[in-house]
Amino acid sequence: MKVKQFLKNIFPYVVAILLVVLFRAYIATPVRVSGQSMYPNLKGKEILLLSKLSDFERYDIIVLDRNVSKDHLVKRVYGLPGETIKAKDNKLYINDKKIADDYGYGVTSDFGPTKLGKDEYFVLGDNRIISLDSRGIGAIKKNQISGKIVFSLFPFKKIK
């Protein structure tokens, strides 16, 4: 009888732990920003919530998985599958049309044009001076993206 009572008492805890593990593995997980490549919009040590179920649109902040770099890289999507992206005279162009670059900090050196494949994205860090991004590592395949940032968890004054 004691074993049955023990299993009955522990069951809710096992279910709770299992749900948390599954949630973090397949739905969402916290991510810590390291470095200054997304400065001034994101700073080191901020904690963000990463959704693993999202599609990606221009200007979304995404996290690249560890097969791209030893750390999770946090970057912003600029080029979408099938597009051609380039930078000329500190301006960004998609399919030869100038696009808004409200997030870029510092000078964006000339690059491209780069034609993206059907499952490729071109990502840039907001801090163009020091960012390791598609200008140096090339286009990012969709399967190299862990997910999209959907929420800021810390610092508390920045929660949104």
Q: What would the DSSP string read from start to end of 63-91?
A: EE-TTTSSSPEEEEEEE-TT-EEEEETTE
**Active-site residue, 52 included:** no
Phi, psi of 134 (to 5 degrees): -60, -20
d(C-alpha 156, C-alpha 74), whole Å: 20
Q: Which residues contact 67 (CB under 8 A, 6 or more apart)?
A: 144
**Active-site residue, 75 included:** yes
The angle formed by the CA atoms of residues 70, 79 and 128, to the nearest 5 degrees, is: 60
How far is C-alpha 34 from the geometric centre of its chain's CA atoms? 12
> Two tokens at 145?
């993206």
Catalytic residue (choose from 75, 86, 146, 152): 75
Catalytic residue (choose from 37, 131, 134, 152): 37
Task: Return the active site residues.
Answer: 37, 75
